[in-house]
Amino acid sequence: MAALRLINPFMPGAGHRPPYLAGREGEKYEFRRLASQDVILENMILTGLRGVGKTVLLDEFKPIAQELGWIWIGADLSESASVSEERLVRRLLADLAVAASSIVVATEAVRAVGFEAPVTQHETTLNYDVLLVLYERTPGLVSDKLKAILEFVWEHLRGTGHRGLVFVYDEAQNLADHAEKEEYPLSVLLDVFQSIQRKKIPFLLVLTGLPTLFPKLVEARTFAERMFRVVFLRQLSQPASRDAIRKPIETEASALKLSDEVIEKIIALSAGYPYFIQFICREVFDSALVNLQAGRPPSIPVEEIIRKLDTDFFAGRWSRATDRQRDLLAVVAHLDNAADEFTTQEIVALAKKMLEKPFSSSHVTQMLVALGNAGLIYKNRHGRYSFAVPLLDQFIRRQAQNGG
């Protein structure tokens, strides 16, 4: 019993590095390919449902990029970095300063563009304040000014042995143009990168976000279609799921062993979704320890795990839907293709059979927009819909069964 490892290695939670990052070989290969471009023709979008492993995969890309000579900069856009052009500019300059602040330039070079440095000062570093002043003194539109600063920085950064900069933005679905406020941060970002990449400046853009991200970019600028290689992250394969479950306890010479049967059950319950794998394994590990100490074999407390998942993960999202929206979602959850893609027509047809008060087609379309804004549904580029939360269909069917 002394050798018993008591620390639970599993890590459910946004952005928490898993004890073992399983699978994703194809995605890493794809990133390596894009990071091997000398002239950037393709940037990367890493997209997928919440909890599928986008953020932790970015962490895996970072050393690959650095090994290939890139400087890795970027941020999480969950904060409102994306609401105005001004905020976007400050975001980009702050990130740029991380790479540029080690560069020392002759003060003359920045004085020439209007930066007021003391006459006695012969050298200046390109820190945030200097970049901001340079930006403000540059004439033109926001995008012209940004391009000028990016070019200026690259002029001084080339020759330092770096291959280029990778700008990495997580939760980039938050970027949006706001025509009513005349704020176009998303379009500015795309214009700026397209233009500097055309000038063969090696600044690679990597955007991560929910499946709404790519359609949004294309809507803002049609050329975005050609600018990005979209990598859609999905569930882990069976073997990768097995690794994600087994490796963390195997490597620790743990007294805990899960039978193949238990592992298969975890895979089935989680449907291979990384967040659910971590969540279920964390519970199974805890309960297995209790059993072990009592001399019982490990088992899966399925009922309890599901109940906990429902309250911890699903209930909050569900509670934001109105009664009528729930009726609609219940219909969707009972479609044969609920876990995949579905159409308005399919929903209308099944609603006729299921509900006393069915929905018209235009009503369904309208409600799907609202559910999209609430983050429960998303529309793909082919006009089909999917649940935006993994395994939401199962949760809804459970609710229906429990009369909830």
Ligand X SMILES: Nc1ncnc2c1ncn2[C@@H]1O[C@H](COP(=O)(O)OP(=O)(O)O)[C@@H](O)[C@H]1O
Q: Residue numbers of the site for Mg ion (CB under 5 A)?
A: 54-55
Shortest Cβ distance from residue 221 to Mg ion (Å)?
Answer: 24
What kind and span of H or E run contains 303?
Answer: helix 302-309
Q: Taking a C-beta distance cutoff of 8 angstroms, is the pair 24, 60 a contact? A: yes
Distance CA 365, CA 378 (A): 12
Residue nearest to Mg ion (CB): 55
State which residue, 154 or 273, has the beta carbon closest to ligand X: 273
Shortest Cβ distance from residue 211 to ligand X (Å)?
Answer: 11
Shortest Cβ distance from residue 120 to Mg ion (Å)?
Answer: 48
State which residue, 22 or 157, has the beta carbon closest to Mg ion: 22
Shortest Cβ distance from residue 234 to ligand X (Å)?
Answer: 11
State which residue, 234 or 296, has the beta carbon closest to ligand X: 234
Partner whose footprint covers residue 386, from Mg ion, ligand X, none (CB < 5 to 8 Å by kind): none
State which residue, 54 or 379, has the beta carbon closest to Mg ion: 54
State which residue, 54 or 147, has the beta carbon closest to Mg ion: 54
383: region left, alpha or beta (phi > 0 left; psi from -120 to 50 alpha): left
State which residue, 50 or 334, has the beta carbon closest to ligand X: 50
Partner whose footprint covers residue 142, from Mg ion, ligand X, none (CB < 5 to 8 Å by kind): none
The identity of residue 27, as a single letter, is E
Partner whose footprint covers residue 24, from ligand X, Mg ion, none (CB < 5 to 8 Å by kind): ligand X
Which residue in 213, 370, 389, 366 sits closest to 316, CA to CA? 389
Partner whose footprint covers residue 347, from Mg ion, ligand X, none (CB < 5 to 8 Å by kind): none
Interacting residues with ligand X (CB under 6 A) = 11-16, 18, 21-24, 48, 50-56, 244, 274-275, 277-278
Partner whose footprint covers residue 56, from ligand X, Mg ion, none (CB < 5 to 8 Å by kind): ligand X
State which residue, 8 or 365, has the beta carbon closest to ligand X: 8
Q: In terms of residues, how long is the chain?
A: 404
Shortest Cβ distance from residue 240 to ligand X (Å)?
Answer: 7
Shortest Cβ distance from residue 384 to ligand X (Å)?
Answer: 21
Q: 3-state class of 170 per DSSP? A: strand
Distance CA 370, CA 363 (A): 11
Distance CA 135, CA 146 (A): 7
Shortest Cβ distance from residue 170 to Mg ion (Å)?
Answer: 6
DSSP letter string over 185-207?
HHHHHHHHHHHHHHTT--EEEEE
Torsion of CA 78, 83, 89, 90, to 10 degrees: -60
Shortest Cβ distance from residue 23 to Mg ion (Å)?
Answer: 17
State which residue, 12 or 185, has the beta carbon closest to ligand X: 12
Partner whose footprint covers residue 216, from ligand X, Mg ion, none (CB < 5 to 8 Å by kind): none
DSSP letter string over 115-162?
----TT--EEE--HHHHHHHHHHS-S-HHHHHHHHHHHHHHHHTTTT-
Residue nearest to ligand X (CB): 53
* Residue 87 Cα to chain centre, angstroms: 20
Give phi and psi for 167, each to the nearest 5.
-95, 120
